[in-house]
Every structure is written in structure tokens, then in C-alpha cells.
Chain A
């Protein structure tokens, strides 16, 4: 029981310090002032990360970059302190990996095929994504963007 609780606290701490590496639209929303978290408690959650905007056009042959598409189509859950990031961070900590691996953009082990499979088939709490959520053309680009693994 103690191990679980310690891990949970680590997750909370870790989630607060994960830094996003992707190109996102600048936000006026600044993080809480410096000075560190209040004594005895986890740090406050980070501000909302703005997603890239969708560019008008035919989504069946998207002209957007994988990075921008990942931001817009996946950012609801996979940015800093998103639901997906929180759950992946928990898993990564359990595997002995650093908390920053909770962000998919920091991962070196994902392959494009794996990304596509998880998006279409779901995994754990992640629902299967429809082809309106993300089209096949968009998914190709996102998978290529995230799939740095061999």
C-alpha cells in the first residue's frame, strides 16, 4: 500500500514538471509565479496548453504537418497534465522510466504502426478514434511524427 501511495505522489509531482516539446500557439496564460509549490502539497497543475489550429481544407488529404495535427487532434488529452499524459506517466513510472516519458512527443520507442494501432483500436482508458476524430491521412502524418522508434 505504501509503495502505491508513494508512486501516486510521484505521479502528481511528475505531472507538474513535464515540459512540452511541441510547437504550440503561445498563450497569455502564464504559469503560477516562481517560488515553488506550497509546502506539504503537490505543485499546482500547469496552465492549459493551446493547441495548433486546424487549417481549412480537405481533411482526407491533409496539407497540415504531423506536429500541428498531433497538437490539434491529440492535444485534448496528450499535452501537459492531460488525461492521457497523466495515465501514460503513471505507466512509464511503473516501468522505471522518467516522468517526461508521459508525453508521447518525448518517446523514442514508438513506431508509426504502433501509434496507428492504438489510435484505431484504443488502449486501456483511451477510446478508439473515429475517422472523423482523425482521418487516415491525418493519422499517417501523426504516426510518422511520433514514430521515432525502429
Chain B
């Protein structure tokens, strides 16, 4: 990819910034070739990658180098786009919102600083991947179980900071963050929570500060560079049982949610409950063309045929309970009794006890894997996906309402309907996977039109997305319009105060500093 300069920076200015960065982190860790720009582009870009092209990347090794990079960026007015490991697939990968930004790649900062099995937490740097932490726990034989997302290739902190989700009792990852170290835009180092006291012994245990708590201010944000953070980990349970539930029809999701939410709120079920539709299983069995060889959506009659042929139900759920065996058994009976009111088919059980083997697909036992990303191969070619992910109240009424509307819109655009619901508490994350071949221009255009229609419809009915791709960060931000976007105006005031030159991730989640205010609404998909 050819060099695109950030707004307002001359070629000479850019060269000066690059030279200064080379002095700070070493020439080998400032990457500005065309090939480097390609490597930092969005591999799943719905449209030309140049819409979100980086000017290069800089990779500091430690917090002092991060501070130096930030100071240089201020001096040279070089905007930085902060990534942990840059594996945010489906949301922009490592690519910046504003073209010409230099990626601040924290992948080299991969130290596991502390890990405490007694109180169940670790302190890690942003470059630590799920696999790194998992293998460390296995090597040290620590009685801890991780919560992992669909893409185990990514960063533990990066995922939590972008509000990623997993499928264990610790599945709402941002709520496991506790006590951060942050480099502010002026290069100053801050520790949040009790860590604001020198040598505080509970810095990663108590979730609040003395006074306002700032941890969440640095999630989905551009107000600082998180250089390390505490992350709570679940003590490894004595046992776990997986209950396999086969739910026959799409519309059954209503009673399923109404059965599960009370169990979740009463803590009979502790996990974030993942309820995927049939298409999830099909993507592992083969490619779309093996089952339906026409370009449009698979018609309902063929869906029903495929479900029969492959002995699949519309929703296939692997619910998991964790804890002491007697308690787990008792909980399983409660869950089974609740489902027996609606479901005549038997509920399969698969027990795991501490010390038992796990397999690469045991995501709900904390084994990280990138295999779920394989679903992209469903459409073939240079396959990619995006998720339309509204948050809905965890009741059958709301879930059915959202599903019916989004299903109709997706059908109207002649695209396959692949939904999942994850109950994280009082809410569900409803992820609708939209898969496309990047080289099929018509398919990309359809997905973009469809995405816009889904956002508008959800917002009109009172539902918002929890996370989105670069190309829609402004659009989603616009949907939070209460009192003339009062929350965004407040955040941008904070942004301008902390980062007057607007150098940290301008445009992240629709937060634009005054310095780049003219870029709002540009480089959209």
C-alpha cells in the first residue's frame, strides 16, 4: 500500500517523525514499507483497504518507549492508532480509523508480570495473547481457567478493552479488568484504582478507586495507552458438565431466553450462555456451495431440508455448569427440569473433572482456538466476516422482536441469516454474522447496504450495537443521540483536555479530537 500521510502532515514532517521514532525504539521496530502498510491493513475490509490505511507502525518494547513514542507523536503531530496485538478481526484488525495514522503496535510488550492462583488474577501487558496466557497456566500447572473469545489468536487485554466476550462465568471480559497502568497523551504514567498508591497490595483486587473509578474510561476509548492491567481469572472448578440442548425451531428462542435468564440471574447458571443457530455447525461441515449453489440466501425449504439431512436443530446449545460435583449435579437437575417443560428430546451430558483432558475446541473450558474463524471459509474466496451486534434485554419478548426484524431485513437483502445470542446477565449480545467474499464487489456492496439498514432499524427500536467495525464507528456513535449527543460531547471535552493534539487513536468509537474534527464522517464504508 502506498504511503498516505495523516491530515496536516507534510512528507518532510512525516520523515522527521519516523527518524525520531527510530531513535526511540530502534530502526527495526519502525515499519513504513509498502509491505508493512499492507500487513497492518484490515484483512476483512468491506471495500478498499486504503480507506483505513496506516502510514506505518511503531512497536515499543516497554512503557518507557511508549512514553517516548507518545512525546514524539505530540511534537510531530503524528496520530497513533493503538492496538494490542492487532487481531481485532471483523472490527478492523490492526487498521486505523483515520487514514495515515501510525499503528502503535504493543505486540512486543508480552510479559506476564504476575499471576496469582490463590486470588485468581494476573497482571499482564497488552501483547500477551490468549494462547500465551493459557500455555503459561498449563506449564506452571496453576489451578486457573481462562475465559476465551472466538478468536484465541488475539490479545487478552486488547479483547477486554474492546468489550470482547467469552463463554465461561468470566465471559464479560471488560468486567474482569482491575487496576491499570496507562500512558496519557502527554506521556505521563498513571495507575488507576488502588494502584494509585505506591506499593498498594490490593491494586488488582478491589474494583474501585478512592474517588471516581477510571478503569472503564480506557475501554473502547482513545484517552490513554494501557500498558499493563490486572485481569481476574476463574479458579479452576472441581468439575464441569456440558448439557447439550437441541432446540428445534427459530421461534423457540423466545422461551429459551425466558427459561435461561432467571437461571442466570439466580446464579444456577454462571456462564455467559452462547446460543448459536444451525449455520454455525454447517460452516464446519463444508462450504456453502456444497449445500446450496446459488448466490442468493438459502431458501427456507432448503434450510429445513439441511437441518433434517444433518440431524441439526435450529439452535444447538452447549450449556456449561461449573463447580463442586454435588452442586454441579444439583444445578444440572434444575436446568433439565426447567427445559423439560418445553423440550421432549433428551438432554446430553458430558462431564469434565479436574485433571481430565480437554480438546482444542473446549472454548467453554478456557482452551483458546482460532478455529471459529474458519467459518469465513463458508462463502469461499478471500472470505471475511462482520458482525452486526445489538444488545437486547434478556427476555424472550425483546429477543424475538429483534430477531424477527433483523431476520426479515437480512432475508430482504438475500443474505444467509446466521444469528447467535449470548446471555451475559440481564442482557444478550445478539451477533449476526455477515460473511462475504472480499473479491466479490456485489457481495461487499450488499453487506454494506444491509449493515446500514440493520443499524438504522435497531436504533429506531431502541437497541444499540456493543462494538463495530471502523467504517461504522461514526454511524453507531450517531445513534447515541440523547440530548444532542451529550455523552459524546462530554467525552470529546475530556479527549481535548487530555490529548490537545489529538494524537491517540483519533476517531476511535466516534470520539474525535478537535485537531481532527474535520475527519468525522469521512472514510466510511
Contact = CB atoms under 8 A, between A and B. Distances in A.
A83 B36 contact: no
Give chain B's interface residue range (CB within 8 Å of chain A).
Answer: 35 or more
B217 interface: no
Contact of B357 (A9, A29, A122): A29
Given A29-B358, A50-B138, A60-B28, A1 B291 contact: yes
Given A76-B370, A132-B59, A32 B39 contact: no
Residue among A50, A76, A80 facing the most chain B CB atoms (10 A cut-off): A76
Contact of A8 (B26, B86, B285, B293): B285
Interface string B133-170: 01100110100000000001100000000000000000
Contacts, number: 130
Interface stretch (B312-320, B359-367, B485-493): B359-367
Interface string A17-30: 00000000101111
Interface string A57-86: 001100000000000000111001111001
Given A29-B358, A45-B359, A50 B139 contact: yes
Contacts of B110: 54
Interface in B103-140: 105, 107-108, 110, 129, 131, 134-135, 138-139
Nearest to A16: B359
A8 B93 contact: no
B175 interface: no
A130 B370 contact: no
Interface string A99-132: 0000000000000000000001110110111111
Given A31-B357, A87-B374, A127 B35 contact: no
A127 B357 contact: no
Given A27-B138, A28-B141, A132-B108, A83 B374 contact: yes
A125 B374 CA distance: 8
B92 to A, nearest CB: 13
A87 B358 contact: no
A83 B29 CA distance: 29
A69 B287 CA distance: 32
Given A27-B138, A86-B371, A133-B107, A32 B360 contact: no
Contact of A4 (B39, B152, B286): B286
Contact of B152 (A30, A76, A124): A76
A51 interface: yes
B70 interface: no
A37 interface: no
B284 to A, nearest CB: 8
Contact of A129 (B39, B289, B291, B383): B39
A44 interface: yes
A132 B57 contact: yes
Contacts of B89: 127
Contacts of B459: none
A7 interface: yes
A127 B134 contact: no
A143 B60 CA distance: 26
Nearest to B86: A130
A47 interface: yes
Main secondary structure of the interface of A (DSSP, over half): loop
Contact of B360 (A81, A122, A125, A127): A81
B290 A1 contact: yes
A8 B309 CA distance: 14
B224 interface: no
A48 B362 CA distance: 9
Interface string B12-49: 00000000000000101101000110111101000000
Given A81-B360, A122-B43, A7 B286 contact: yes
A85 to B, nearest CB: 9
A83 B357 contact: no
Nearest to A131: B31
Interface string B352-390: 000001111100000101110110110000110000000
A95 to B, nearest CB: 16
B94 interface: yes
A46 B39 contact: no
A87 to B, nearest CB: 6
Contacts of A47: 357-360
A44 B371 contact: no
Residue among B29, B359, B376 facing the most chain A CB atoms (10 A cut-off): B359
A48 B134 contact: yes
Contacts of A86: 371, 374
A29 B358 CA distance: 7
Contacts of A59: 108
Contacts of B59: 132
B36 A130 contact: yes
Given A47-B359, A127-B93, 4 more contacts: A4-B286, A5-B290, A130-B40, A131-B36
27 contacts: A4-B289, A5-B291, A25-B135, A31-B357, A32-B359, A45-B361, A47-B359, A48-B359, A54-B110, A76-B129, A76-B153, A81-B360, A81-B361, A82-B369, A82-B371, A83-B371, A83-B373, A124-B382, A125-B373, A128-B39, A130-B40, A130-B86, A130-B105, A130-B107, A132-B29, A132-B57, A133-B39
